[in-house]
Structure formats: structure tokens, C-alpha cells
A and B are shown apart, each in its own frame.
Chain A
Amino acid sequence: MRRYLEVALGIFTSIGGFLEVGAIATAAQAGAGFGFRLGWVLVLGTVCVIFLVEMSGRLSAVSKHTLQDAMRERFGAGFFLVTTIPGLIVDWLVLAAEIGGVALALQLVTGIGYQWWAFPVAIGSWLFLWKGNLRLVEDGVALLGLVALAFVVAAVRLHPPVHAVVAGLLPSLPPAEGTTYWFLAVSILGALISPYLFFFYSSGAIEGQWDENHIGSNRFTAIVGMSFGAVLAFGVMLAAALVFHPRGIQVERYEQVALMLVEPLGRPGLYLFAAALAVTCFGATLEVALGRAYVFAQGFGWNYTLNSLPKNSARFSLVYTAMIGSAAVLIALGVDPLALTVFSMALTAVTLPLVTIPFIVLMNDPAYVGEYRNGWIGNAAVVGISLLASLIALVAIPLQLMGG
């Protein structure tokens, strides 16, 4: 039973943290704009996120510290403040995008504009955290999130050409639209390698009282959970590549995206798309809000747990309440959710090294992980991919903003 719960944590993390509004939007745009050519970025991001999630669980299991807790202790309060501010801004934008994703799903099935759904969605998410516990959050969303398998079913029913799909898994240079290609590449990496995922996962490991006996199951859940998320995201990319790309359709509004599931699945495709968008974004809303609340609580030494009444962790509860409420305002004001999503994912890529580099230092420090230190492959993969994503994002974001 205990092992089941650990695997559920991994799968929940993969659904809420891996496949969410960012992965759906960027994978759909990539498939529509470039066919299968950006498949390799999904592979790169998945490899990196498997390493990072596994490290988050290992760090907590061995050191009994959450990631944020260990960072603050190892690098000091000044470092905590310097890295927290950009992280807070990025997480706030990502949270708004996730709330926007749920709101848009509701718009698709009701016809009522997404702005009107911002506060109902925010209140629903907040109630889920306020009244629920970590197990409800994990299991409830993990089971509902299985609806996202519709993307894979759709991709299979569209009969993708295997040779072209496999060729897309190998890195390639852009055909012509260089700036958009690289901007989408870093947005995909930002969507997949989200720092809130590691903060949430390591906090969940502490709340689950993991120890060194959990290292094997942690590795299993990281590999299986993240690979499962990657398959779902790949399904989105394939469906977009097979429906939109041959017709020359670029994805510029969420309203277009559902058409890619309607083509292979008929009318149910619309409702499956809306359900998958709503559930995965709802899961990510909970994860981002909780992840940031964990960061603050662990950084400032406050009480934190989702497994007791909010009054016992008042400041922790206040952080996720404020995060959700303020992010909902952005959507209620009518900010374009798709533009916000892609931009916030690219910004996530810029800030990646702020988390991953200190994380790697911790994972090589015997004072924290003892004999369970990182190998050179894990170190090289994480540092290389996150630095690459950040550097490309630093160049691609201004170019994209200026119409490059």
C-alpha cells in the first residue's frame, strides 16, 4: 500500500507537473508549426526531468531535508532571497496560465468566456487545498488525469508515419523559422523542467517520511511517472503534427487546439480535450501553489503540512491562498492565456540554472547525500541541458517579443 502511494505521487507529479497547460500548448504549437521536428526537445526535457525528480526524492530520503530547506541551509538566507524572487514571479505567471487553462476548458464546453471562470476556478482550487489533504490531491488528480490518454489514442488513430516520427527524435536545425523554432524549443523545456515540480516532489517525500529504503522506488516512480507524462505530451505533439501541420494551421488560440482531437475521435474529442485540459491544469494549479507555499514555509522556517488543519500552518496556507487569488486576477482581466503560457514557460527556462546548479552542488555534497551522491552522467545531463535552455531562452525571448 505504501509503495502504491509512492507510485501515485510520481504519477500525480507527472500529470500535474509534466503534462499541464504549458506542455499541451507548446507541444501543440510545435507539432502544428514544425511537424515532428521538435520531438528531440521532448526527449531532452524528459531525460533532464527524470534526473531532477529522482534527485529531489533521493535528497529528501537521505538527508531528511526538502530541496528548499537544504538550499537555504547550504547557501544561506541571502541566496534564498535572491533565488526566491525570480522564482516567485515565474511561478505566479505559470499559476495564472494554469488557472487560465482550466478556465478555457470550461469556456470550450459552456461558451462562457474564460475570464468569467477565473475566480470560480481559483475558489475551487483553494477549497481543494484548504479542505483536502496531500493524499486527496495526489490520488484524486492522478486518477482523473488518466483522461489525458485521449491524446495518445488520438495520435495512434491518426496513424503517424513511424520513420518520420523517429527522425524527429534526433536533433535538427530549423527549416526557416529559426526564432520561432528555438523559442518553442525553450518553451517546451521550460514546460517540462519546472522547478515547482522538484519543490513539490521533495516536500511530498518529507511528508511521506521517506528514508533510504525508498531510493529504489523513488527511482522507479521518477522514470515511470515522467516517462508516462512524456508519452502524453508526445501524443499532443503527434496529433497536432498530423492534423494541423499538413493543413498549414498555426496554433494561435486555444479554441483551435480541440480540433486536433475532434478529427480522429469525433464529437467526444472536444469533450475529452476539455476534460484533459481542465484536469491536468487543475492538478498543476494545486502543485504550483503548493510548491511555492512549501518554498516560503521552508525558507522562513514556518510550519507546513497539508495533512492537518490550515490553522496549524497558517502562513503556509496564506501563501497558497494569496498565490491563487492574485493569479486569478490576471486571467479575469483578460490576459491571453496562450501567450501567457508560452511566455511563462520560456521564462521558466531562463531561471532554470538558479535552481538546478545549486541543486547539483547539494547532490554532490556528502554532508547531505552521503554515499548516495550523483554520478557524472546525472550531473552533466542536468547542468548541460538547463544551461543550454537558459542561454537559448535569453536570446530567443527578446527576438520573439520583437517579432523575430
Chain B
Amino acid sequence: MRAITLAFALVGAVLLAGCTRSPEARAEDARMKLASWQATRRLLDEQRARGDLPEQYVRQVMRAVEEGRAQALANLRAASAP
């Protein structure tokens, strides 16, 4: 019984450690996502310029890029706030 309690305590400790991410880590994560959406936009533009993409699909990806960028920017601001 004591071993089971100890195991649960250990798992709980790991989870608690995971919950407390530093603002720097959250900001870094947001910056990576922002860069990822910018890279998606560049790839989209390249493929569009080659005539590989129908316009209605381009609109879908553009919308996803805009929403993703907005979310990443909001997360970056929240992480940078004092």
C-alpha cells in the first residue's frame, strides 16, 4: 500500500513540475509557433506561384495561418506580460 501511495505521489510531483512552466518557456513556444505559421505562409506562396493550388484551398490555408498567428501573438503577449 505504501508503495502505491509513493508511486502516486511521484506521478503527482512530475505533473506539478510540468504545470509550472516559466514565462520564458511559454514565450519561446509562442515564438516557434509564430515562425511555423510564417513558414506555412511562405510554402503556400511558393506552391501557389507554381499554380499547384486552387484558390478555394489557398483561402482555407490563409485563414488557418491568420488564426494561428493571432493565437501565437496573443500567447506571446500573455507570456511577456509582467
Contact = CB atoms under 8 A, between A and B. Distances in A.
Interface of A: 107-111, 179, 243, 247-250, 252-253, 255-256, 258-259, 262-263, 266-267, 269-270, 394-395, 398-399, 402-404
Given A247-B42, A267-B51, A259 B18 contact: no
Contact of B61 (A259, A394, A398): A259
A398 B11 CA distance: 11
Interface size class of B (residues with CB under 8 A): 20 to 34
Nearest to B35: A248
B68 A253 contact: yes
B53 to A, nearest CB: 7
Contacts of B52: 262, 266-267, 269-270
6 contacts: A243-B43, A252-B36, A253-B68, A259-B40, A259-B44, A403-B21
B36 A248 contact: yes
Contacts of A107: 60
A110 B60 CA distance: 10
Nearest to A269: B52
Given A247-B39, A267-B52, A108 B60 contact: yes
B72 to A, nearest CB: 9
B64 A256 contact: yes
Interface of B: 11, 14-15, 18-19, 21, 26, 29, 32-33, 35-36, 39-40, 42-44, 47, 50-54, 56-57, 59-61, 63-64, 68
Given A111-B56, A270-B53, A395-B11, A404 B19 contact: yes
A249 B18 contact: no
A402 B36 CA distance: 21
Given A267-B51, A398-B18, A252 B26 contact: no
B51 to A, nearest CB: 7
Given A248-B39, A249-B36, A255-B64, A399 B18 contact: yes
B21 A404 contact: yes
Contacts of A398: 15, 18
A395 B57 contact: no
Contacts of A270: 52-54, 57
Contact of B14 (A111, A253, A395): A395
Q: Closest 5 CB pairs between A and B?
A: A111-B56, A399-B18, A404-B18, A250-B36, A255-B64
A343 B47 CA distance: 31
A195 B15 CA distance: 27
A262 B57 CA distance: 12
